[in-house]
Chain A
Amino acid sequence: MVNQIRKKEIKLQVKNMDFWYNGTQVLFDIGLDIYAYHITAIIGPSGCGKSTLLRNFNRMNDLFSQARMQGEIMYQGQNICALETNVVAIRQQIGMVFQKANPFPLSIFENVAYGLRIQKKDEATVRKVVQESLEKADLWGEVHDRLYTSAFRLSGGQQQRLCIARALAVNPDVLLLDEPCSALDPIATAKIEQLLLKLKKEHTLIIVTHNMQQARRISDYTCYLLHGKVIEYASTAEVFEKPQQKLTSDYINGRFG
């Protein structure tokens, strides 16, 4: 029963969102409801705007001075797209994991502690949360005896799980993942996929992936994006088994892309 209610809970609501980069429109009239405690996959060919869409949820596109957006992403009653939105607060609630693992040039411990130190948490809390986060990211067992060595000594897959632990440490409500496995081998990928399935119990996940099998394996909802437009958005089973649009079936059947 609880699950039924949760299924209907909308965490983020995108309405009529347009996005321009350098005067070129990249996203057109996007409308999406992101459901809480589920994994939503955004798929589509390279250059379709899926990463751009993802980076609008935490306003990471602000880093490009040429970017402009319009429309609504409603989150807890406020519009993320609005200019006056406190992006720092938004990013503490909507975390992000990048395509290529990007640990800081710090120890494993300090990487995970980073967000907590910014929030000026006391040392005891930092220690506790760092351990919890590494455990949640299935990394504690591998690193507990070398927490103070450089994060760069870890393997690629471990680094990516470290980045997930780092994001989890600030207890985000939503976690955005931008092709998190694209640089990893199948075993490291499988580990992260299992991890994501576990994380959706407590977090809402949005993952951008060019790997359709991955979307199929782990996501509950799939959004197919093409040339900056949402072509189809439905449960993953529907999108992959009986797509409503010919463009979608062409893509998932590998006829292009």
Chain B
Amino acid sequence: MVGEKRREKIYEFMFRGITLFIVLLLLLVLWFLLKNGWSVLSWTFLSSSWSHQDITNSGIFPAIVGTLLLGIGVFLFSVPIGIATAIYLQEYAKDGIFTLIITLTIRNLAGVPSIIYGVFGLAFFVWFLNLGTSLLAASFTLMGMTLPWIISTSQEALQMVPHSFREGSLALGATPWQTIRKVVFPSSLSGMLTGSILGVSRAMGETAPIIMVGATFFMPYLPTSIFDKFMALPYHLFILAAQHSSPYARQYAFATGIVLIGLIFIMNLAMFALRYRLRRKKVW
């Protein structure tokens, strides 16, 4: 019996060790970013505009703004569509061939490589719809990538709402839509927002698709309309790391990486705070 207990301890220890590896991986990523980029991180770097020739005295402010604007654009387009689709699938759709086709489509959308979304965006949004290489075209392009994520996490959030809430509402003579609006949607909002923000923050880190549909390496001014091109942190990082001739470029690439990952961490933290606030009201 003692042996059994000890073996159980060993198993637990083993699994815990493997789990710790995850933490280690993140720390390692951060460590290498910080080690290589920390020394050039400065207020000038964060707040100045970019200069191709003099990279030590210029900054990435336009790229930060561009990535944030892109995030907002993707959020505005993909969250309403994603949540609406999830509500249809979870609350209205009956099991059948139509529902099956939609579900399979969503699964497959999630599997389409980001570069494919890029060329699609170029052909459809930039050329066919004539949006030009722009913030708008890039936001639409990334929507295809974030939608499957938002739909599936929103569906999970809706599934978490107890069935008895729906029954209680319908039994009082509420229509299905009233039930969704007044009970189901408010109860699942925190989960849906969590998934949405995670999806959008992934989109903000994408490089390949946006190169083709709107991101540019250098712009002397900030975008002033949704039809403008924009600078973006991931693309900036790529150029500095791989395409730039300055001997300092590598360091600045890492510093850009720190800013990008910092931005995404801040978003995730904000999401956790929001989720916690909304969760506190839940007691079922």
Interface residues of A (CB under 8 A from B): 58, 60, 63, 65, 88-89, 91-92, 95-96, 98, 100, 102-105, 114-115, 117-119, 150, 152-153, 163, 166-167, 170
Contact = CB atoms under 8 A, between A and B. Distances in A.
Given A98-B171, A119-B173, 13 more contacts: A60-B167, A63-B170, A88-B173, A91-B170, A104-B165, A105-B186, A118-B172, A118-B173, A118-B174, A152-B284, A153-B283, A163-B168, A167-B172
A104 B168 contact: yes
B282 interface: yes
Residue of B166, B174, B178, B283 contacting most chain A CB atoms (<10 Å): B174
Contacts, number: 71
Contacts of B178: 118
- Taking residues whose C-beta sits less than 8 angstroms from the other chain, chain B's interface range is 20 to 34
A95 B172 contact: yes
Given A88-B173, A115-B173, A118-B173, A98 B168 contact: yes
16 contacts: A58-B171, A60-B171, A88-B174, A91-B170, A91-B172, A92-B172, A92-B173, A102-B162, A102-B167, A104-B168, A104-B183, A105-B187, A114-B169, A115-B172, A118-B174, A167-B171
Interface of B: 94-95, 162, 164-175, 178, 182-183, 186-187, 281-284
A58 B169 CA distance: 13
B171 A91 contact: yes
B56 to A, nearest CB: 56
A58 B174 CA distance: 13
Contacts of A95: 171-172
Contacts of B182: 114, 117-118
Given A88-B175, A92-B172, A118-B173, A98 B283 contact: no
A168 to B, nearest CB: 11
B235 to A, nearest CB: 44
Contact of A105 (B94, B95, B165): B165
Contact of B172 (A63, A114, A150): A114
A105 B175 CA distance: 18
A31 to B, nearest CB: 25
A153 B284 CA distance: 10
Nearest to A62: B170
Given A88-B175, A95-B172, A170-B173, A105 B167 contact: no
Contacts of A163: 168
B160 to A, nearest CB: 12
A244 B174 CA distance: 42
Contact of A170 (B162, B172, B282): B172
Contacts of B165: 102, 104-105
Contact of B283 (A118, A150, A170): A150
B172 A105 contact: no
Contacts of A167: 171-172
Nearest to B95: A65
Nearest to B163: A63
A153 B282 CA distance: 11
A105 B282 contact: yes
Contacts of B186: 105
Nearest to B166: A63
A104 B184 CA distance: 10
A152 B162 contact: no
A182 to B, nearest CB: 14
A119 B65 CA distance: 47
Contacts of B183: 104-105
